[in-house]
Structure 1
Amino acid sequence: MFSLFASEKPQPKAAEVAIQRITSISTNSLSRFERLPKAQRYLIIGAASLGGLSLLWSISASSRFYQRPPIPSPKQTLLPELTSEEAGELPYHPAALPGARDVDSPYGSIRVYEFGPRDGERVLLIHGISTPSIALADLAHKLAGKGRRVMLFDLFGRGYSSAPSPADYNYNASLYTTQILLCLQSSPILWTPFTIIGYSLGGAIAADFTSYFPSMVRGLVLVAPGGLIRPHHFGIGSKMLYRSSWMPEWMVSKLVASKLWTGAKRVEPAPDAVENAETTTTTTTVSEGGAKFSSSNQMLLPGNPHSTVSAVVDWQIKHHYGFVPAFISTIRYAPIYNQHHRWSVIKENIETKTGPLRDVWLVLGETDPIIIADEVTEDAKAVLGEDNVRVRVIEGAGHEIAIEKADDIVKVVRSILGKGESSKESGSSKSSSRRKHGGSHASSSAR
């Protein structure tokens, strides 16, 4: 049997047959290719090479995700080059407030301040879109002086907090909610329940956070808040600047930086522009014949004449390379407009007693050109319910209200938490002493 098989001529394998056919085809194709004009041959070779490179790049890119590192704050890029005396003259110096710490996170470092009696009622302060946490320094010190335990932090891309790359992260409700939770977790003491005071953008973030975590929030004070701004206030110029698909990002950044820059401006020609929201102040009230506005020279840190609102914003533009990108991404993605659906959740939680919150306080400026008092009052009552909203309009004040009218906000907090300032003044005298000296030296810790 075996000899029979051995006598048969073996059949060629299928692979060998295929190779013979391919060789025949390749030879014919090569012959035709060589007969083409030289220019066409070079064009075909170039196209094939480019296609191969594109395929290799696509395979390589799909096999891994490159995440850009956070944009460092001036803590990393500026402070190492300065002496302690030079750092002390900065508009926002590193020893600005007591209880400083730097919290490490996957999104970069977060600058946090926490001070006041450890057993005091907790109050979290969230600043606005263009000024860092020191914009609320006066309010924080006055609350601590009344026995409250206060916490402030620099939003991502502001002050001494890093900026997650906007190419990888949108500056939206998810990012800012995560940042709040990271700050609360970094505290050595338990921080629930607490009162949130949110100013401008901080008000929009505070309302959004409260809608998701009702059991954590005892009081909600929204000072000139975003969230319910009517669409017509976002003009065609802003839409073209922030939402156009034809303008390159470097050009958007350049234009936004120029709009944010205050320089030596005195009279503010466009006080209702979002870029000027926190850098203007009311100089003439309605009762005096119409409100007029100028760039704010309000001092934020006692004893530091360099620390004005306008100077701090300009300092961020010059020295925090993540500030302008963070500002742009915030305008595009943060919960500033059309947040009725989230505010309605707050109403539902109040009425069903889900959590300790019983009402929402609005503190508004009479002459605010951006957060119009009558509009916000009407819209907030419509979405939250008449019985769930308390409104205080400060006469003669504009959008600068949280920076320049801290006493009025302290009164609102007292109405929420009660007037029992008690004997928690142990931290108050220390706080006052630190305030006179511009704060204590910043300490760094990763949590």
Structure 2
Amino acid sequence: MARLWGSTPTPPPSRLPSLPSLPTLPSLPSLPSLPPGIQSRILEHKWYIAGGAATLGTIALLNSLRTPNKPKPIPSVQECLLPNMAPEDLMGLPYPPNALPGARDVDTPYGIMRVYEWGPEKGDRVLLIHGISTPSPALAGVADKLVKKGCRVMLFDLFGRGYSATPDPKATNYDSALYTTQILLCLQSSILPWSSYIILGYSLGGAVAADFASYFPHHVKGLVLVAPGGLMRKEHIPTSSKILYSTSGLVPQWLLHKLVARRLYNGPEVARTMDSDAVSIRGDDESDQRSMRSVSSAVSASLLTPSSSTSRTASDIVDWQIANHPGFVKAFVSTIRYAPTHEQQDRWKIIGQNMRDRYNMPEKERVGLKEVWLVLGEIDPIIIADEIVEDAKDVLGRRFVKVKILDGVGHDVPMVRPDEVARVVLKILGHKK
């Protein structure tokens, strides 16, 4: 009981040998003592005080460990725009909600994702991935040609584009991890099995497709990279773009988004129709001439399937997204900063090694890629044909790289020459014509 009331018991005699006395330290100034009445009350309730202090300490610790609330996804166009539109006005949009067949909206932890899937259920599977600024309609022509040849196709709007929501870039980088996850979410959303398929990726989609294939080699039986990023050389990026898209904070976010929107909307046609601002075009006379020659076709090429009643171009859709998609510019900026678009030799080398390993297996056990196709525009000012061919052969192995260069075409390869792009896929599948 003596301990409960603050009395100090007599300590037992020490059995340890005595230690030499330490030198006397200078005394510290004493703190003012509490009045006797307050001292006795504190001693009387010291266990309650100690318990309260421990509780407060635990609460403070838990608060410090608690994961902060993750920002919610930025709503998609269909959530913030379409509910306020009359049904008869929807078809007049540059990108109508029913622009492509087999549309479905998939609920994901990152927000709603728009997916399209159509074609014969037993047909060969082809997954198509669009570029940085123009959503699924950019590949509608290629998809339509493949379906007519008996393929089952799947397309989806990348997060922050078209009818897909935007994971808040403050909490989520638009990097390899996000895009790999989105592809897996897309494939798993189908009621049909997608265990073996060809991936066709265009521009940014080509970089994402190659990156994905390096992680899942046994599922990808064909890889068609159309004017792809991935091995782009950073030496072509001008200082102005490096500063603009830097993560150093030199340019405030609000100003950055305003400048990027202006570059995409009011800038030169090449920036809007070439489906890339991620790389810049080389500042020499030759590339300027090639840029201008490659613009006219993109401006006039309709991106929607022939069955559509409207004719819309890449420029129309990009401008519409800037004006109406609240997450488009933010996703665009984060993609340029973090997506696997430049100097990805290490990931591409894995693809090459996987193809070499495949040839060392017994023929009956061989699965996955046996070659990679590059489909390039002769006058593309963004993906320089000679450079990408040289770099791809270096990392993949010369025997594994097949190349098709389309004369007189710029970066807008699948929009202006969908027939020839589709033929490459059909060649992989064994079609003779």
Name the TM-score, length of structure 2 as normaliser.
0.79
Amino acid at match of 1:316: Q
Q: Does 1:127 align with 2:134?
A: no
Which structure is higher in RCO with an 8 Å CA cutoff and minimum separation 6?
1
Residue in structure 1 matched with residue 13 of structure 2 by the alignment: none
Show structure 2 runs of 5+ residues with no match: 10-29, 36-58, 281-285, 359-365
Measured in 1, the distance between the counterparts of 2:105 and 2:274 equals 34
Q: Does 1:182 align with 2:182?
A: no
Q: Is the 8 A contact 2:380 2:410 kept in 1?
A: yes
Show structure 1 runs of 5+ residues with no match: 25-55, 279-283, 422-447
Q: Is the 8 A contact 1:299 1:308 kept in 2?
A: yes
Moved over 3 A (4+): 10-14, 19-24, 56-64, 267-274, 284-295, 302-306
Residue in structure 2 matched with residue 215 of structure 1 by the alignment: 218
Q: Does 1:226 align with 2:238?
A: no
Q: Does 1:144 align with 2:147?
A: yes
Query: Which deviations, in whole Å up to 9, do the C-alpha atoms of 1:155-204 show, x marking residues without a partner?
Result: 00000000100001000001000000001001111112100000000000
Q: Is the 8 A contact 2:102 2:116 kept in 1?
A: yes
Query: Which deviations, in whole Å up to 9, do the C-alpha atoms of 1:187-234 show, x marking residues without a partner?
Result: 111112100000000000000000000010000000000000011122
Residue in structure 1 matched with residue 343 of structure 2 by the alignment: 338
The alpha carbon displacement at 1:411 in A equals 1.2
Q: Is the 8 A contact 2:274 2:411 kept in 1?
A: no
Measured in 2, the distance between the counterparts of 1:328 and 1:116 equals 34
Q: Is the 8 A contact 1:91 1:304 kept in 2?
A: no
Determine which of 388, 392, 396 is the counterpart of 1:384: 396
Residue in structure 2 matched with residue 204 of structure 1 by the alignment: 207
Measured in 2, the distance between the counterparts of 1:345 and 1:106 equals 29
Residue in structure 1 matched with residue 260 of structure 2 by the alignment: 256
Distance 1:365 1:286, change over 3 A: farther
Amino acid at match of 1:293: V
Amino acid at match of 1:99: G
Q: Does 1:246 align with 2:243?
A: no
Q: Does 1:312 align with 2:312?
A: no
Residue in structure 1 matched with residue 424 of structure 2 by the alignment: 412
Distance 1:259 1:11, change over 3 A: closer
Measured in 2, the distance between the counterparts of 1:114 and 1:122 equals 10
SS in 2 for 1:109: strand
Residue in structure 2 matched with residue 193 of structure 1 by the alignment: 196
Amino acid at match of 1:315: W
Determine which of 100, 103, 109 is the counterpart of 2:103: 100
The alpha carbon displacement at 1:61 in A equals 6.5
Amino acid at match of 1:399: H
Measured in 1, the distance between the counterparts of 2:429 and 2:382 equals 29
Question: Aligned-residue CA RMSD in angstroms?
Answer: 3.1
| More off after superposition, 400-409 vs 352-361 | 352-361
Measured in 1, the distance between the counterparts of 2:6 and 2:324 equals 78
Q: Is the 8 A contact 1:271 1:277 kept in 2?
A: no
Name the TM-score, length of structure 1 as normaliser.
0.77
Q: Does 1:83 align with 2:86?
A: yes
Amino acid at match of 2:183: I
Query: Which deviations, in whole Å up to 9, do the C-alpha atoms of 1:320-350 show, x marking residues without a partner?
Result: 1110000000000000001000000000000
Measured in 1, the distance between the counterparts of 2:289 and 2:170 equals 47
Residue in structure 1 matched with residue 368 of structure 2 by the alignment: 356
